[in-house]
Amino acid sequence: MSKPILRNKLTAILGYFIKGLVFIAPIMITYAIIKWVFGTLDGILPLGTPGLGILVMLSIITVFGYFGSKLFYQPIFEWFESLLEKTPGVKFIYSSIKDMLEAFVGDKKRFNEPVLVKMNNSGLLKIGFITSKDISNLHQSEMLKDYVGVYFPHSYNFSGNHFLVKKENVTPINANSTEIMKFVVSGGVTDLD
């Protein structure tokens, strides 16, 4: 077999392999992550039957949520929460995790206002989410009166940066905030619906 024919066949095989990898890898990685999360959560309450631990844990969380929203339980919940927030070391971890969870799913949802931010005069735009419209609590009220807090998530990562941005450089995006977050986190490769 001549070298050009062999090279073409190897190139075709490599192309098929890459197409297969693009198809299979996301499925396998998603499966592995779900299996790991399920196994980790199920292992917190090892009850012997697969899935029973996670079912019991979800039930307990739901019951806590129910009682936590009722008036007669609220003082106990607030007392326990204030105890956690007064404990050195625990306060930082607890309040950070609580604030982050509430920003995504709680009553104080923060990542629901997507915006485009003009970064410089060359036309560079960055997608972010307004987290604070009033930042007067920074005690620089005169200097910061024309600024808002904007969170910029990183692509392919669950982290980001928070900047104070002049209001004039912020343009609201009229789109679903969940779709915008997926677009940013995927590095812009996810299509916007």
For the chain, the domain total comes to: 1
Q: How many residues does the chain have?
A: 193
Q: Which domain holds residue 143?
A: 114-185
pLDDT tens figures, 11-27: 888 888 888 888 788 78
- In a domain, residue 147? The reply is yes
- In a domain, residue 12? The reply is no
- pLDDT for position 70: 65
- In a domain, residue 29? The reply is no
- In a domain, residue 165? The reply is yes
pLDDT tens figures, 81-100: 788 778 777 777 777 777 77
pLDDT tens figures, 99-111: 776 666 666 666 7
- In a domain, residue 163? The reply is yes
pLDDT tens figures, 122-136: 888 888 888 878 777
- In a domain, residue 88? The reply is no
- In a domain, residue 173? The reply is yes
The pTM of the full predicted model, rounded to 2 decimals, is: 0.54
- In a domain, residue 101? The reply is no
CA distances from 123 to 80, 116, 184 (A): 50, 11, 18
